[in-house]
Chains A and B, each alone.
Chain A
Amino acid sequence: MSLTPAELSSSVAGGIGASPQRPDGNLKVRGEFAYASDLWHEDMIWGSTLRSPHPYARIVSIDLTEALKVPGVHAVLTHQDVPGSNLYGLEHKDQPVLAVDVVRYQGEAVALVGADHPETATRAMKRIKVEYEVLEPVVDMETAADDTPLHPGGNLVRHVPIRRGDQSPTADVVVSGRYEVGMQDQAFLGPESGLAVPAEDGGVDLYIATQWLHVDQGQVASALGMPLDKVRLTLSGVGGAFGGREDLSMQVHACMLALHTRKPVKMVYNREESFYGHVHRHPAVLHYEHGATRDGKLVYVKARIFLDGGAYASSTGAVVANAATLGVGPYEVDNVTIDCYGLYTNNPPCGAMRGFGAVQAGFAYESQMDKLAEKLGLDPVDVRIANAMTEGSVMPTGQVVDSAAPVAQLLKLVKDKPLPPVSTTLDLRSMPGGVSNTTHGEGVVRGIGYAVGIKNVCFSEGYDDYSTARVRVQVIGGELVALAHTAACEVGQGLVTIMQQIVRTELGVQRVTILPMDTSIGNGGSTSASRQTYVTGGAVKAACAAVRDKLTKLAGGRELSEVDLADLVGDDVIDETVEWRHRATEPLDPETGQGNAHVQYGFAAHRAVVDVDVELGLVKVVELDCAQDVGNALNPQAVLGQIQGGSAQGLGLAVMEEIQTVGGKVRNPSFTDYLIPTVLDMPPMSIDVLELADPNAPYGVRGVGEPPTISSTPAVVAAIRAATGLALTRVPVRPEHITQT
């Protein structure tokens, strides 16, 4: 008989449920952590990318002559130098490694320079002569499908219909609206960076900040025309991701330069280039109609949702499916008609970002719930609770929600919190406008708003979503120690800590070393969809169980708690690798959108209290409290960090964060004008964490990272509406919207 994890871990600190210090925490706080931008190699050269200044243009000619003459230049490469396939993409291989005869967005990579110094590379890039024939860009997502086709199959990337119940329903009360969501950026602080080192076997070793090593590996190998084993990736220090590193940036470029020059090549984007170097959150236009009874019970929801995918597909298809399947929110609705479209345009490419389609829909359906409450003269929380889904509810896809869905409870928790007092002393830091001294109380009106959201966790629609973990125990210096190895990317979220906690709990071993994440082990899946604690955590747990079985065999009938494990292992090395899958999902029916497409659902609710200077249109979020069910808080401190961070990102979308484009051109590619919340914008939070275990998930965990990003935005906007009485149908809300100037 083997020992249970609880018995083994009883003597070991820092297991699950605790909040041990992060292994990388001190280094990061002291500024000593090596990020990908700190990579260095003797003899390395620097790679730079020449990008298109035009959103849409034909490339007439490219002349490299003068660039190649610059002393210190080792290589200047174009699409003709791509050894393998020039097309790549997460879902559709539609994006060129380097542009061939057309550029489809401003910032598209056209040529590469490798030089002995970044400055040399910059000079050489200025001498590359690209002749463009500028074309009229397609920039309106609502008309893009009928506009100039930007790709061979036309401009519709994906259409997901949802048809459930009566398709011609009627209701006592109908509210409708058109909502817009601006283009949000992940705004991770560590720009795209990597180092490619040519190997003696003709392959290449790439050290890179990414979210998914194996999908990068596959795409890089395909572009280089090499077998997978010749392209080896190791995760470098990642300074945040939020979805923005799911797609390739310079991975292929650095490898091409390295293989061409036979030298290590470093590439690091500066902040401006970073804004062109990764995908953003899809801007959206959402038309909604809600029908309800006079007492506020939803009868039907109809929606037409447009998501602007920009020039290339990236993960637009999956984002469309999310916006569609989660399009009514965490509510029970019998009759649903949704059409969700993802389009190609000449705007910047959009793809994964925290919340992934659920954010855009969330702003619209929560705005609608408030509108319904107002029309019926009901309390906005009461209307939500009257329609709140629970365990056993049926989604618009027909899928039954088969674990906790405490939507009403979450709403009650945030509603029952005490309200913050109105400040009686003048402290500019607590005023809209802060120390900019715009008001001493003049024009300030307080408002309160609520929202709740739903997010799927893990990959959906039948995707074979799994992770691979290897756990080894051995005796070093008389002590039994463990080592865990996966390819699952630590991007700042704390997976390294969670892995250590799981191994401590499962094996009772205090010292747990986490090996660098690389492609020498099997796929760990993407660090996205709030899935790593669930899936890689599940894999590590399973690998520990396999190790425990080996230990039990070694013990030969003795109970593990009775033996000294170090003596038992002796000189042996026990090393187990496990591939672990969550339960399977199904594709959506292409006509009706029906199917058990999602693995798990996560829920969060927010109450926002804002002070709005209604004359200047400036907003101070006074309070942004949250309640969320996390299944089981394996690391309570990390859970709170995720909820705070997700809420802050949602607040940013509500009041300031937007990449502004005109005619496909980005107007604010810098942190000077792409603003993210500061400590004076984001209030301290009171957070209620529910732990209603999901019986299908390892330890009962429920994905944490995304749900708070969904409800935070509509809660803040609802509060601004309450303060101003304005409709406010677009985020981010700008001072111009509030002052109507």
Chain B
Amino acid sequence: MDFLRPDTFAEALAVKAERPDAVPIAGGTDVMVELNFDHRRPSALLDLTRIAELREWTTVDGRLRVGSGVPYTRIIEQLGAQLPGLAMASRTVGSPQIRNRGTVGGNLGAASPAGDTHPVLLAGDAVIEVASTRGTRMIPAAEFYLGVKRNALEPDELIAAVHLNATPGPEQFAKVGTRNAMVIAVCSFAIALHPAEKRVGAAVGSAAPTPRRATAAEEFLAGELDWAAPEPLLDSVKRRFGELVAEAASPIDDVRGSAAYRKHALAVLARRTLGWAWQDHLGKEARECA
């Protein structure tokens, strides 16, 4: 197995164009597990950890551009206030050691349905910037996940960055696991309120072949919420929202949990996170009016 170590992103793209079978590796928290279990034997690894530009985040035109190599720890510590949903999801990833190494780019590259950041990226309308020697593509998160561990990348492309709203509305993320830390999601859920556009983002993880948006739930809720004169939510609204989120999932029975439990838990998570996010919105409105 070749171990390729480019120093710049341009160099990495050139290598990837020449060796499309090379597997990119950043933190290695997914790739190394696959190698250790002998589930995968790539002819080459393309180490991205020397590329400084992938580990930067910047604000561009009111959007945050987060380099694909920014580790979870820095997202939590440096971007927690700006990207609360992504920080919440990052906080649930593995152990401190894993969070020091693991990256959102790696989560996207692996495209596991159980990846922790996916629901947040979907709910928050993130756009994935991918690049090759042929140029750059901007792929909305909703179009990025194609199947179990399959994403929209072409073989010669690498993930450059994730673009997110720099001033998002209230966001929440919650994940169920059978241990109180260091656990793969049995199911997960993210909600993002977009008050400026009177829209709602909602997405489920680990409950379908891909992470996916709960579109019917989003539309239902957008219609129910009174953005201008916000009031506490009716329980019936929260319940219906939960039901629609559960309906968006098509989970399986597996070693981590039953399909029935996943649907049940998603409905609970959706109700609760909606309550917290709306409470957050009410608080903001109250502060702005005062």
Contacts and interface: CB of A to CB of B under 8 A. Distances in A.
A683 to B, nearest CB: 11
Interface stretch (A142-150, A325-333, A384-392, A665-673): A665-673
B28 to A, nearest CB: 15
Interface in A651-684: 655-656, 660, 667-668, 670, 672-673, 675, 677-681
Interface stretch (B57-65, B135-143, B210-218, B263-271): B263-271
Interface stretch (B103-111, B123-131, B177-185, B224-232): B177-185
Contact of B255 (A655, A668, A680): A668
A122 B260 CA distance: 40
A615 B268 CA distance: 7
B180 A433 contact: yes
Contact of B174 (A438, A673, A681): A438
Contact of A434 (B180, B256, B257, B275): B180
A615 B174 CA distance: 14
- Report the contact-size class of chain A (Cβ under 8 Å from the partner): 35 or more
A735 interface: yes
Contacts of B38: 122
A676 to B, nearest CB: 8
A14 interface: no
B178 A734 contact: yes
Contacts of B180: 429, 432-434, 436, 618, 620, 678, 680-681
B132 interface: no
A272 interface: yes
- Report the contact-size class of chain B (Cβ under 8 Å from the partner): 35 or more
A434 B181 contact: yes
Given A438-B174, A670-B37, A735-B265, A660 B255 contact: yes
A424 interface: no
Contact of B178 (A429, A620, A675): A675
Interface in A433-450: 433-440, 442-443
Interface in A617-675: 617-618, 620, 655-656, 660, 667-668, 670, 672-673, 675
A435 B92 contact: yes
A739 interface: yes
Q: What is the predominant secondary structure among interface residues of chain A facing chain B?
A: loop
A695 to B, nearest CB: 44
B272 A439 contact: yes
Interface in B159-191: 172-184, 186
Contact of B176 (A616, A655, A677): A616
Q: What is the predominant secondary structure among interface residues of chain B facing chain A?
A: mixed
Given A438-B174, A673-B184, A739 B179 contact: no
A435 B276 CA distance: 15
Interface in A697-741: 734-736, 739, 741
Given A616-B176, A620-B180, A739 B261 contact: yes
Contact of A438 (B175, B181, B275): B175
Given A672-B184, A673-B255, A681-B180, A736 B175 contact: no
B281 interface: no
Contacts of B37: 272, 670
A15 B176 CA distance: 49
A157 B261 CA distance: 38
A227 B173 CA distance: 65
Interface in B233-290: 255-258, 260-261, 263-265, 268-269, 272, 275-276
Contacts of B257: 734-736
Given A656-B179, A668-B255, A438 B261 contact: no
B97 interface: no
A655 B263 CA distance: 21
B33 interface: yes
B22 interface: no
Contact of B261 (A620, A679, A680, A736): A736
Most buried by B among A122, A272, A734, A736: A736
A735 B178 contact: yes
B260 A741 contact: yes
A270 interface: yes
Most buried by A among B92, B179, B264: B179
B118 interface: no
Contacts of A442: 272, 275
Contacts of A679: 181
A270 B181 CA distance: 24
Contacts, number: 98
B179 A437 contact: no
Most buried by B among A270, A438, A734: A438
A62 B268 CA distance: 54
Contacts of B83: none
A433 B181 CA distance: 8
Contacts of B184: 672-673
A440 B269 CA distance: 11
Contact of A677 (B173, B174, B177, B179): B179
Contacts of A618: 176, 178, 180
Given A437-B92, A667-B255, A735 B33 contact: no
B174 A739 contact: no
A103 B59 CA distance: 62
B243 to A, nearest CB: 14
A436 B92 contact: yes
B186 A270 contact: no
B261 A735 contact: yes
Given A672-B33, A680-B181, A438 B260 contact: no
A673 to B, nearest CB: 5
Given A436-B176, A677-B179, A678-B182, A270 B272 contact: no
Interface in A595-629: 615-618, 620
A618 B268 CA distance: 12
Contacts of B183: 436, 675
Nearest to A271: B36
Given A442-B272, A616-B268, A670-B37, A735 B186 contact: yes
B91 interface: yes
Contacts of A739: 261, 264-265
Contact of A437 (B173, B255, B268): B173
Contacts of A668: 255
Contacts of A736: 257-258, 260-261
Contacts of A440: 272, 276
B88 interface: yes
Nearest to A681: B180
A437 B256 contact: no
A527 B256 CA distance: 34
Contacts of A270: 36
A433 B178 CA distance: 8
A678 B272 CA distance: 26
A668 B172 CA distance: 31
B42 to A, nearest CB: 14
A616 B33 contact: no
Given A272-B37, A616-B268, A735-B257, A435 B91 contact: yes
Most buried by B among A429, A437, A678: A437
Task: List 3 tightest A-B contacts by C-beta distance, closest first.
Answer: A434-B180, A680-B180, A741-B261
Given A739-B265, A741-B265, 8 more contacts: A443-B268, A616-B268, A618-B180, A681-B181, A735-B261, A736-B260, A739-B264, A741-B260
Interface of B: 33, 36-38, 88, 91-92, 172-184, 186, 255-258, 260-261, 263-265, 268-269, 272, 275-276
17 contacts: A272-B37, A435-B181, A436-B175, A436-B180, A440-B276, A616-B268, A660-B255, A672-B33, A678-B179, A678-B180, A680-B179, A681-B181, A734-B178, A735-B178, A735-B257, A736-B257, A736-B260
